[in-house]
Amino acid sequence: MTDFLFDVIATELEDAVGRENCSTRTIDKLTHSVDYFWLSRMWADRGLRMPEGDFIVAPKDAKEVSAVLKIANYYKIPVTTWGAGGGTQGGAIPVCGGIVLDTKRMNKIYDVNEQGMYIECGTGAIYKHIEWAANEKGYATMHYPSSLTCSTVGGFLAHRGIGVSSTKYGKIDDMVLQMEVVLPNGDIIETSPAPKHAAGPDLNQIFIGSEGTLGVMTKAQMRIYEQPESRQFRGFLFHNMTDAFNAGRELLQKFKPSVMRLYDEAETASLIKKIVGVEKKGAFMNIAIEGVKEMADLEMKILLETFAKYGAEDLGSEYGEKWWKEKITFFYPGHMMDIPQCFGTMDTIAPYDKIEKIYWEMKKAIETNFPQAKFIAHFSHWYEWGCMIYDRFIVDGDKVPQDPHEAFRLHQAIWNCGVRTALANGGVVNDHHGVGIKLGRLMKEQYGPAMQVFEGIKKQLDPNGIMNPFKLGL
């Protein structure tokens, strides 16, 4: 791009969003080039610069987003949407430069609607802020991922996020009623006023998980819930994973706890021991039951009876309460894997008839092919039909190649190995972190000819291919 054209585009973008909201400053370009993806962090740690946007724009509403996308389409400039940058898959990295569209000025909370039980807000709102807004009125969003404080509503929607209380309250795609979306051509649309209907496919679900490749979600109505009268915890120790899966599956045929988290023996002996204080060997499982007290008491009785059948040791409520208190502590620097380690979380999901096999096969594949890597896992989101694995590989810093390109190769190779093993055994590419640039290549392997459905939608909505190129395998 010539300097002249650069200035032309910059002034048009300034006209669209206001001069103070269109930046070419180094600090803005830098901070929008490193997200939570291991590669971008490793790159920065070694003093390298990630691909940067040329223009960082912060529109305040759908109208301004529309103006930006029209400019981008005209000049055929890539647009990468940025929420708060907490994604692990490199979905928000502007790999082709161009415009980074930061959504955080669209953070207005329009309505805490107690009648309709939802909050209407801009998608640039940090989720914790809408939780505060709900709390101020005596409600809760019940969406409690570790990134609650550092991710936007739009960010969670863009990659289909999930929180720790998902078993009872659902995933982010269960929590949204209606959305406003700006299409790549600049048209502003609204999805249907209610999410459950027979008026064709659910438009919400086309954009949720699309990672900025099909448009920009600008406003959303997110569900709120009454605060539970009672929230009760119980920790258990299982002798083996098979018993734990069977117990979990049986429990879910009876009722839905809010939190269900099973930690494999390796993670029980490391993270759970360190943060929650469980010293014994085995597979730790934490359950939370909540709602009307009378019902919660009854559910607790059913829980104890069910788990006793599978030989689970009842550890009482103390560890569970401690876990709840510390649920985000796990993710702070000092507790979490960090550079110079090489690491990744290969979350996948499958029905109960496949999930345990996937776990053992992935563990075997990683540990056999990459003996320098540790493999730990927990199972944190459960349904009546199956659950997800949050399995992580960790290579200590002294075993990571010094050459950043070689370090990246190692990282990619472990990912390929792990995810392909999951796919071969009936899992999916990802459960709730999304695809981004990290896993795009594996989407075609999962979907095969079904990928043409996504490609067709993409081609129709974004014929110039400006929206978040090379993400989601599109």
Partner 1 sequence: MQFTKKSQEHIDSCRFCWMCHHVCPIGNATGLERNTARARALGLSLVMRDSIEYSDDIINNVYECSLCGGCMTDCVTGWDPVMFTKEARLGAALDGKLPEYVMTMLSNLNEKGNIYGADKNENIPEINGGDTLFFLGEDTRAKSCAKTAVELLQKAGVEFTLLKDEPNSGYSMDFLISAAAETKAMMENCAKVLNNYKKVVCYDPADAKVMMREYKEWGIEVKAEVVTFTRFLAELIKDGKLAVKNSGKEFTPQDSPILARDLEETAPIRDILSACGVVNEMLLNRAYTMLAGNLIMNEYMPNVIEKVAENRWFNAKNANAKVLVTTSTAEYEMLLKTKPEDMELKKIEEVVAECL
Q: Which is nearer to partner 1, 200 or 334 (CB)?
A: 334
Closest CA to 272 of 189, 264, 298: 264
Q: How far is the CB of 465 from partner 1 (least distance, A)?
A: 25
Q: Which is nearer to partner 1, 124 or 186 (CB)?
A: 124
Q: How far is the CB of 28 from partner 1 (least distance, A)?
A: 6
Determine the 3-state secondary structure of 283 from DSSP. strand
**What are φ and ψ of residue 189, in 5° steps?**
-125, 165
Residue 34 in tokens: 């490193």
- What's the rounded Cα separation, in Å, for the pair 153 and 137? 19
Strand partners, 382: 387
- What's the rounded Cα separation, in Å, for the pair 429 and 419? 6
Q: Which is nearer to partner 1, 135 or 246 (CB)?
A: 135
Q: Which is nearer to partner 1, 218 or 306 (CB)?
A: 218
Q: How far is the CB of 109 from partner 1 (least distance, A)?
A: 9
For residues 145 and 163, the answer to whether their CB atoms sit within 8 Å is yes
Closest CA to 418 of 380, 373, 473, 387: 373
Q: Which is nearer to partner 1, 135 or 185 (CB)?
A: 135
Which DSSP string corresponds to 13-48?
A: HHHHH-GGGEE--HHHHHHTT--S-HHHHHHHHTTP
Amino acid identity at 8: V
Residues in touch with partner 1 (CB under 8 A): 25-28, 30-32, 34, 36, 41, 44-49, 56, 58, 82, 84-86, 102, 104-107, 124, 126, 128-129, 132-133, 135-137, 147, 149-151, 328-329, 331-335, 338-339
E-state strands within 323-385: 342-345, 348-351, 373-379
Pair type for strands 386-395 and 176-182: unpaired
Q: How far is the CB of 307 from partner 1 (least distance, A)?
A: 30
Q: Which is nearer to partner 1, 84 or 300 (CB)?
A: 84
For residues 284 and 197, the answer to whether their CB atoms sit within 8 Å is no
Residue 271 in tokens: 């993270």
Q: Which is nearer to partner 1, 47 or 448 (CB)?
A: 47
Q: How far is the CB of 390 from partner 1 (least distance, A)?
A: 19
Q: How far is the CB of 31 from partner 1 (least distance, A)?
A: 4
- What's the rounded Cα separation, in Å, for the pair 351 and 205? 21
The owner of tokens 């807000």 is: 121
3-state secondary structure 252-301: HCCCCCCEEEEECHHHHHHHHHHHHCCCCCCEEEEEEEEECHHHHHHHHH
Q: Which is nearer to partner 1, 104 or 471 (CB)?
A: 104
Q: How far is the CB of 32 from partner 1 (least distance, A)?
A: 6
Q: How far is the CB of 338 from partner 1 (least distance, A)?
A: 7
